């Protein structure tokens, strides 16, 4: 399982939490504020852990926010997706469910899709993740069908079934616009030798 993933961190595990960085009023910033910080180089990395309590009822649990996890658990999740829904001999999701989740569901008229007015060139979107359709357009040397997504604290995973690889990045910087997730992915692909 994923014993270190939950919406609330057990008291005996609180000392294992990494510091959460971000802008002091990260929840109240507009996208333009983050874009300005990114383009001017004022990253404003400050400890904002108090704004993300690890105990008590989750007050902001949603996709991209709320879950606490470890790199090892996140890797298990990605590995399960690579294994088409199976991990350690246990079936978690049906094979066809995983295939359907990670197929592009956007019609050509909606491509490229945009996040905050930034086009995601070369990608379509499945049920919960982006899906690589055109590697040259994306500027990532991945394989068609590669999929993944990022979380609010600039956590990121991708799965490439063709290369049988997964990658994860966990930065702990809320709403970061300038962290090297794409560079990290490109470097991983450049390291493949056979």
Domains of the chain: 11-190 (3.40.710.10)
Residue 153: partners with Cβ closer than 8 Å, 6 or more residues away: 20, 22, 170, 171, 172, 173, 174
Q: How far apart are the first and last CA of the chain?
A: 32
Distances (CA, A) of 183 to 103, 172, 178, 186: 24, 17, 11, 5
CB atoms within 10 A of CB 32: 9
Give φ, ψ of 13 to 5 degrees: -110, 0
Distances (CA, A) of 29 to 22, 25, 63: 11, 7, 19
44 pLDDT more than 80 = no
Vertex 105: Cα angle to 103 and 111 (nearest 5) = 110
pLDDT, one tens digit per residue, over 12-38 is 988 888 888 776 555 555 555 556 665
pLDDT of residue 172: 81
Distance CA 58, CA 47 (A): 20
Q: Say whether the peptide bond before residue 112 is cis (omega within 30 degrees of 0).
A: yes
pLDDT confidence bin for 78, thresholds 50/70/90: very high
């Amino acid at each position: 399982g994923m014993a270190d993933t939950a919406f609330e961190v057990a008291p005996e595990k609180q000392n294992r939490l990494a510091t959460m960085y971000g802008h002091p009023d990260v929840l109240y910033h507009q996208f333009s504020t983050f874009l300005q910080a990114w383009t001017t180089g004022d990253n404003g990395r400050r400890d904002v852990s108090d704004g993300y309590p690890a105990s008590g009822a989750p007050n902001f649990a949603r996709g991209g926010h709320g879950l606490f996890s470890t790199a090892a658990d996140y890797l298990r999740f990605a590995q399960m997706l690579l294994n088409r829904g199976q991990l350690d001999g246990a079936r978690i999701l049906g094979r066809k469910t995983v295939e359907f989740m990670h197929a592009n569901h956007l019609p050509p008229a909606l491509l490229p899709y945009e996040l905050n007015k930034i086009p995601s060139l070369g990608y379509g979107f499945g049920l919960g993740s982006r899906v690589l359709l055109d590697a040259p357009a994306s500027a990532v040397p991945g394989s068609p069908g590669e999929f993944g997504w990022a979380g609010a604290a600039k956590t990121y995973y991708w799965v490439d079934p063709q290369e049988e690889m997964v990658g994860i990045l966990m930065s702990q910087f809320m709403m970061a616009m300038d962290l090297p997730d794409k560079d990290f992915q490109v470097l991983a692909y450049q390291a493949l030798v056979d």
